[in-house]
């Protein structure tokens, strides 16, 4: 694969985002503090701050006087530069959150989707209803919104705005960005949830202390957002991270992608239901009609000490440890973060067991400093990541793009270097 050379413009763009990330991490800061945090020269920081101030992205928070010398300014991101929508679309719900430019949530709305109905018109209508409710709760007008980031399940081409393939919905080449832009009347950016959770973790989670990580999402489907040396790994067609469709068991359970033995067939919600039916086919949790209801029933039963559910947790943690071991052996990463609504409900039972078993699956050289923990990113990490993408997209229109994360319109996706 021919990787384009990094230009001086790329380096300037990356430096701009280092300044922005420093302010997210540090809060109101002086130019000197930003320089120390990022490693950029004081002259570079001064130039970039001037550009941010001119575009209204930054403002002067305070002017402070030293005992000697000139007064100095503390800079901050201006939260009122606009409002951003982060929208998490899954097979069972739409979650829409309104953020300010500092990516603090202002209002949120969730709309349930019927997991047995999946036409594009039905899904788009659900997205519009969630967005309208969130905007109404925030008390803002559409003219204040600078962009909407929308996460869609399955394979997504953000450079084309297309949902290439959503296996649970049987979608093929749906022009979802155009459909949403027309209905919402807003600039729309679409991407895959694995990329969104990786970006939210990079900006607001363990990415502040580590350069490489896998952010593993457990829910209806499973997958991994991957960051290597602070670059979001996309692959040739934006499909990097489909860990859920790697092999766990040769000729094993059928997966919704059409293969046999995929990780998702054991760790997705349907996989958990299959495992429980193998343990106790008459268990009451299997009578729950919705996936969320099933997972909540499992969590409640584990808290009561239900023996069948204890066995479900044991088998699931075994599958998870083996699958994560492969991920660590392949990428030689030292940090795995688990997220998603299954993690939120069952993580207290699964994570300690996975930590205990991982040494049986990981090469000895990759074990030192290996960390597995639940995500600490606040709120909905998918919605937050999509809001961050939308912020990057907005800055792109101001000439402040970030080439490492978000592809420009029409730009072919390549693995970042």
Count of beta carbons in the 10 Å neighbourhood of residue 5: 7
Task: List CB contacts of 132: < 8 A, sequence separation 6 or more.
Answer: none
What confidence score (pLDDT) does residue 222 get? 94
Task: List CB contacts of 74: < 8 A, sequence separation 6 or more.
Answer: 28, 29, 30, 60, 61, 62, 63, 64
Count of beta carbons in the 10 Å neighbourhood of residue 146: 19
In the predicted model, is pLDDT for residue 288 greater than 80? yes
70, two tokens: 């000139």
Q: Can you tell me the distance from the alpha carbon of 216 to that of 357, in angstroms, rounded to the nearest whole number?
A: 17
Q: What region does 16 belong to: left with phi over 0, alpha with psi -120 to 50, or beta?
A: alpha
Residue that wins the pLDDT comparison between 189 and 168:
189
Residue appearing with tokens 């960390």: 371
Q: Are strands 231-232 and 335-339 parallel, antiparallel or unpaired?
A: unpaired
Q: Can you tell me the distance from the alpha carbon of 308 to that of 326, in angstroms, rounded to the nearest whole number?
A: 28
Q: Are 264 and 245 in contact (CB under 8 A)?
A: yes
Helix/strand/coil percentages in the chain, nearest 5: 45, 20, 35
Least confident of 66-70, 102-106, 122-126, 189-193: 66-70
In the predicted model, is pLDDT for residue 10 greater than 70? no
In the predicted model, is pLDDT for residue 164 greater than 60? yes
Element (H, E) at 371: strand 371-374
Task: List CB contacts of 10: < 8 A, sequence separation 6 or more.
Answer: 403
**What are the pLDDT digits (tens) for 364-389?**
999 999 999 999 998 999 999 999 99
Residue appearing with tokens 């092999």: 247
Percent of the chain with pLDDT over 90: 63
What confidence score (pLDDT) does residue 24 get? 84
Residue that wins the pLDDT comparison between 137 and 51:
137
Q: How far is CA 323 from CA 102, 230, 361, 399, in A?
A: 36, 23, 9, 41
Q: Are 49 and 98 in contact (CB under 8 A)?
A: no
What confidence score (pLDDT) does residue 407 get? 52
Identify the band that residue 415 occupies on the pLDDT scale cut at 50, 70 and 90: very low
Percent of the chain with pLDDT over 70: 91
Is this prediction's pTM over 0.75?
yes
Q: Mean pLDDT, to the nearest integer, of 245-264?
A: 95
What confidence score (pLDDT) does residue 400 get? 56
302, two tokens: 């584990």
Nearest Cα to 163, choosing from 52, 239, 233? Answer: 239
Q: Can you tell me the distance from the alpha carbon of 210 to that of 34, in angstroms, rounded to the nearest whole number?
A: 19
| HEC secondary structure over 170-234 | CEEEECHHHHHHHHHCCCEEEECHHHHHHHHHHHHCHHHCCCCEEEEEECCCEEEEEEECCEECC
Identify the band that residue 87 occupies on the pLDDT scale cut at 50, 70 and 90: very high
In the predicted model, is pLDDT for residue 409 greater than 60? no
Q: Can you tell me the distance from the alpha carbon of 130 to that of 146, in angstroms, rounded to the nearest whole number?
A: 18
What confidence score (pLDDT) does residue 275 get? 98
What confidence score (pLDDT) does residue 38 get? 86
**What are the pLDDT digits (tens) for 40-77?**
899 989 988 988 898 888 999 998 877 666 788 999 99
Identify the band that residue 399 occupies on the pLDDT scale cut at 50, 70 and 90: low
């Amino acid at each position: 694969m021919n990787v384009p050379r990094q230009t001086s413009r790329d380096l300037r763009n990356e430096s701009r985002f280092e300044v922005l990330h420093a302010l997210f991490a540090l809060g109101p800061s002086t130019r000197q503090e930003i320089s120390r945090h990022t490693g950029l020269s004081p002259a570079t920081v001064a130039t970039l701050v001037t550009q941010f101030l001119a575009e209204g992205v930054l403002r002067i928070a305070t002017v402070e006087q030293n005992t000697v010398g000139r007064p100095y300014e503390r800079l901050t991101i201006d939260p009122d530069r606009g409002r951003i929508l982060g929208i998490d679309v899954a097979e069972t719900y739409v979650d829409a959150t309104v953020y300010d430019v500092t990516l603090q949530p202002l209002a949120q709305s969730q709309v349930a989707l019927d997991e047995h109905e999946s036409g594009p018109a039905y899904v788009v209508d659900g997205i519009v209803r969630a967005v309208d409710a969130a905007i109404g709760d925030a008390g803002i007008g559409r003219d204040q919104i600078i962009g909407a980031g929308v996460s869609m399940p399955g394979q997504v081409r953000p450079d084309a705005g297309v949902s290439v393939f959503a296996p649970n919905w049987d979608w093929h080449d749906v022009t979802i960005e155009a459909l949403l832009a027309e209905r919402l009347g807003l600039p729309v950016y679409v991407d895959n949830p694995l990329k969104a959770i990786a970006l939210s973790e990079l900006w607001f989670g363990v990415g502040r202390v580590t350069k490489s990580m896998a952010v593993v999402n457990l829910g209806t489907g499973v997958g991994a957002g991957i960051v290597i040396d602070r670059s979001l790994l996309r692959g040739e067609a934006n499909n990097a991270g489909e860990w859920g469709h790697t092999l766990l068991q040769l000729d094993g359970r059928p997966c919704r992608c059409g293969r046999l033995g995929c990780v998702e067939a054991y760790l997705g919600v349907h996989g958990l239901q299959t495992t429980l039916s193998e343990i106790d086919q008459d268990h009451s949790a299997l009578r729950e009609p919705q996936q969320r209801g099933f997972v909540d029933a499992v969590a409640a039963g584990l808290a009561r000490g239900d023996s069948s559910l204890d066995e479900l947790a044991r088998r699931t943690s075994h599958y998870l440890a083996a699958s994560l071991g492969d991920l660590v052996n392949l990428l030689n990463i030292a940090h795995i973060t688990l997220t998603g609504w299954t993690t939120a409900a069952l993580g207290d039972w699964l994570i300690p067991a996975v930590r205990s078993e991982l040494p049986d699956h990981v090469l000895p050289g990759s074990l030192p400093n290996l960390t597995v923990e639940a995500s600490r990113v606040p709120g909905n990490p998918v919605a937050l990541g999509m809001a961050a993408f939308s912020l990057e997209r907005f800055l792109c229109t101001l000439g402040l793009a970030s080439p490492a994360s978000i592809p420009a319109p029409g730009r072919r996706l390549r693995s970042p270097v």
